[in-house]
Structures are given as structure tokens and as C-alpha cells.
Structure 1
Amino acid sequence: MRRRIALVTGAAGGIGTAVVDELASRGWTTAGLDLRPAPGADLAIEADVSDPAQVSAAVGRIERTLGPVEAALCAAGHHAIVPASDVHWDDWRRMLRVHLGGVVNVCRAVAPDMVNRGRGSVVAVSASSAVGGADAQAHYAAAKGAVLGLVRSLAAEVAPFGVRVNAVAPGPTDTPLVPDDSMLRRPAHLQGVPAARLTSPREVALAAAYLIEDATACTGEVLSPNAGAVI
């Protein structure tokens, strides 16, 4: 049986860890990239996704140790709730470097070999705020919106070669990126969400696994598990 190798960034917690667990349950061999060791991954590599050299070196190590990367899930990121007028230029740049740059760096490292092999799947984690906007999250939503533009454009470019590129755009998710005192956890906010709750990491992981494995006719698509926050 052919061993299937999946690369997951942001694998040390939250959505990334949930994706590692879900893919492992489906028989995938996983490599986790994060600034911290990734629990559950068959191969854990500490790397900064915003640094193209580190991502390229990590992918090379994965291929030497495990084999060619057949699927990549880009979940590395950070979140902040700050009025746009208070966001420093350095924060704008960091948000773009990690979210957009992180996906670009992974795609540049894995897509050429996927194209050469005639198969592969990339899934980027965006956010519902990229689709519907969000108060005091302009720099986050802008970076996640840029990810959607990248996904749709790259999908059109590599589809003729058997490679699919899609995105999940979850709503506020029950991870450490949403601290206990966050406005997103307050009853007043949740009462405005049709399902009146946060999305779970496993729900996002199930959507990502579907795009990786089963959605063979889907490319350039966005699934948004968001408990009805954006309809």
C-alpha cells in the first residue's frame, strides 16, 4: 500500500493538531511544522512558515525522511482584535508574512513536485472574516482574504496538472487563539451566531480532510464551517 504523506503547518495546536489527528486516523503519515514541537505528527519540524528558506529546508527533510508530499494543509497563523486605526505597520506586515507568506512558501516548496507527479492537494486555512468582514480585525481579515485570492488563482494554474488547491474559512474556533476573555466567547457575541457557539477544531479538520481526500472535483473552492456566523 502506498504511503501518503501530508504536511501540516501550525501543527502544534488548535486546528493544525486536529488536522494531524484526523489525517492520521485516515492512514496518512504526517509531518508537522510549527514554531513548537507538533504532538501527534510522525515527523515534527520546528520552522517559521514566514521564512521561505526554513520551509524549503523542512520540505526537503520531509521528502528525504518520509517521501514526497501528496497533501499540504496550511494552518499556521495568529489572531488579534485591534481597531484598524491602532494597528502598527509592523503588525500589518507580520500578519501578511505569516498568513499569506506562509501559504506562498509552502506552495512554492511542494507544488512543483506535485505538478510533476500529476497529483496533489493543498488546503489553506482562511477565515470567515475574509468573506464577511469582522469588527476590529481589519489586518487579520485582509491577510486571510489575500489567502483566498491566492488559492483561487493558483487553483486555476495547476488544475490542468492534476493538483487541487482549496481553502477552509472557519468562523471563530474554540482554540487557544481565542483566549478565555475574548469578546468572541462572550454570550452577547454568541447569541448573534445562529448556532450560538464556536466552531470546533475537529469540525474544521473534517472539512479540510474532505477537501484533501474526497472532493476530487473541487478546486479553487472555499468551505466555511462557521456555525452560521456568515451565511
Structure 2
Amino acid sequence: MAGPPVAVVTGAARGLGAAVAEALRANGRRVAGLDLRTCDGVDFSVEVDVTDAAAVAGAVARVERELGPVDELVTAAGIYEMAPIEEIDDARWERMLGVNLSGTATVCAAVLPGMVARGRGGVVTISSDLGVGGSEGDAHYAASKGAIVGLTRALATEVAGSGVSVNSVAPGAADTPMLEESSPWRAAEFLGTLPVQRLVRPDEIAAAALFLLEVGTAVSGQVVSPNAGATI
């Protein structure tokens, strides 16, 4: 008799990733957290840099030895900063795309072949509303998150018919530690433009990821945007 599904969540040490890990565990998954920090509240924690493809492959192999084959993946690891385009030097550009885009691709590459071989699985990437609509001062972040949407749709096409789905959650501004207290996204002027008058909660984003994992392969290559009504 098969045991509970095994899920990998990147960036699970805090913020959105921790919320996703909590939601998946509450809904019967055994969860492995991959992060630079130790992840609490998961079944297995691996400290790994998601930009290191070889290290990620090794981390996934450790998860599968400890918990079993990976059935689900949510790529919540990411970074954020604002900067005008003239201040985004090579180092800042490469760090943003390295963590957000390459860090998503490395984990997908490590888990998708096994899912396809077993004929089942679900992947949810975390992109951003800014990757779809853009915003002033967010060029490198928006570029990295927009590229995740393209990656998601390409992978969904690549694995179509295999029993594996690949979708993305593109949240609006979320109430996580990534968003500093001084951020303009926390300002009353911005919140007042939202129909619900507040930031998106991490548990709401986690619920969207859970839905995409549970809805099955009839939904693949899609983007769901929990964004407090910022884009309707």
C-alpha cells in the first residue's frame, strides 16, 4: 500500500515557503524542505543552494532515500529587491535571475524525470504578478519572474501526456518577511487601491498551490494569481 505523497518545497525555512510546507503537511503530505537555512516544521530538511544544480540533484536524491519518490514540487525559494534600471549592475542582475529563475529550473530538472517515469506528479512554480504586469523599479525581479512563467509553460508542454502537471502561482504583494516594512507595497496609498485593502496572506498563496497540485492534469501550463484583486 502506497504511503502519503512526498512533496519538496524550496525556500521552506520561512515566509511563503514555510506556509506552503505547512499547508501540504496539513493535507497529508510528507514534506521535504530545501533551503539555505534549516527548515522547521517539515519531515526532512536539506540545506542547499538552489542555484547549484549538482547540489540540488544530490539533495533530491537524499529526499528520495529518506522519504520516497517525489510526487510534488513547489518552488518557493526566491529573493526580491527594488532598484532603478541604471543601478542594476551585472552582479545584481545575475543574483536575481540566478536565485529566482535558475533556482527554479534546477529543482524542476532534478524531479521531473522521475515523475515522468512514474507517470504521476505535480509541479507548482512561484512566479509573481509583477512578472506578468511589471512595475517601476522592479526590472530584474519582474524579468526573473516573467521568465518563470515562460519556463512553466514550456515544461508543461514538455511533459504533456505523461501524467505530470506544471503550473504557476503568481502572487501579488504578499505579507512575508521578504517585503520590508518600508516597502511601497505596504504603504496605505497602495493598499487603498486593492479591493480587499490588504496584502495577500501566505496561507492564501499556499492554498492556490495546493489547489493546482490537487486538480490534476486537466490543468497544466496555467498561472493563478492570488493578488488581493490588484488585477481582475
Could you say which TM-score interval applies, normalised by the shorter chain? Answer: over 0.9
Asked whether the equivalents of residues 128 and 170 of structure 2 are also in contact (C-alpha less than 8 Å), the reply is yes
Residue 11 of structure 1: aligned partner: 12
Residue 82 of structure 1: aligned partner: 83
Distance (Å, rounded) in 2 between the aligned partners of 1:85 and 1:14:
30
Distance (Å, rounded) in 1 between the aligned partners of 2:202 and 2:213:
16
Residue 167 of structure 2: aligned partner: 166
Matched to 1:135, the amino acid is: E
Q: 113-122 or 193-202: which moved more?
A: 193-202
User: 1:214 offset after TM fit, Å?
Assistant: 2.4
Secondary structure at the aligned position of 1:131 is classed as: helix
Asked whether the equivalents of residues 163 and 217 of structure 2 are also in contact (C-alpha less than 8 Å), the reply is no
Matched to 1:45, the amino acid is: V
Distance (Å, rounded) in 2 between the aligned partners of 1:130 and 1:58:
28
Distance (Å, rounded) in 1 between the aligned partners of 2:191 and 2:126:
22
Asked whether the equivalents of residues 174 and 200 of structure 2 are also in contact (C-alpha less than 8 Å), the reply is yes
Residue 180 of structure 2: aligned partner: 179
Distance (Å, rounded) in 1 between the aligned partners of 2:40 and 2:207:
19
Matched to 2:191, the amino acid is: L
Residue 223 of structure 2: aligned partner: 222
Asked whether the equivalents of residues 164 and 217 of structure 2 are also in contact (C-alpha less than 8 Å), the reply is no
Residue 213 of structure 1: aligned partner: 214
Residue 134 of structure 1: aligned partner: 135
User: 1:3 offset after TM fit, Å?
Assistant: 2.1
Matched to 1:122, the amino acid is: V
TM-score, with length taken from structure 1: 0.98
Distance (Å, rounded) in 1 between the aligned partners of 2:15 and 2:75:
12
Report Cα offsets for 1:20-44 as digits up to 9, x if no partner: 1101011100000011111111001
Distance (Å, rounded) in 1 between the aligned partners of 2:124 and 2:68:
19
Matched to 1:208, the amino acid is: A
Unaligned runs of 5+ in 2: none
Distance (Å, rounded) in 2 between the aligned partners of 1:192 and 1:141:
21
Unaligned runs of 5+ in 1: none
Residue 197 of structure 1: aligned partner: 198
Matched to 1:192, the amino acid is: T
Report Cα offsets for 1:68-122 as digits up to 9, x if no partner: 0000000000100111111111111111111110111011100001010001111
Distance (Å, rounded) in 2 between the aligned partners of 1:45 and 1:81:
29
Distance (Å, rounded) in 2 between the aligned partners of 1:185 and 1:3:
39
Distance (Å, rounded) in 1 between the aligned partners of 2:68 and 2:226:
31
Matched to 1:220, the amino acid is: G
Report whether the alignment pairs 1:66 with 2:96.
Answer: no
Report Cα offsets for 1:161-209 as digits up to 9, x if no partner: 1110000000010000001111111101111222221000000000000
User: 1:215 offset after TM fit, Å?
Assistant: 4.2
Distance (Å, rounded) in 2 between the aligned partners of 1:181 and 1:229:
20
Percent identical across equivalent pairs? 49
Matched to 1:24, the amino acid is: R
Distance (Å, rounded) in 2 between the aligned partners of 1:90 and 1:84:
13
Secondary structure at the aligned position of 2:159 is classed as: helix
Q: RMSD across aligned C-alpha pairs, in angstroms?
A: 0.9
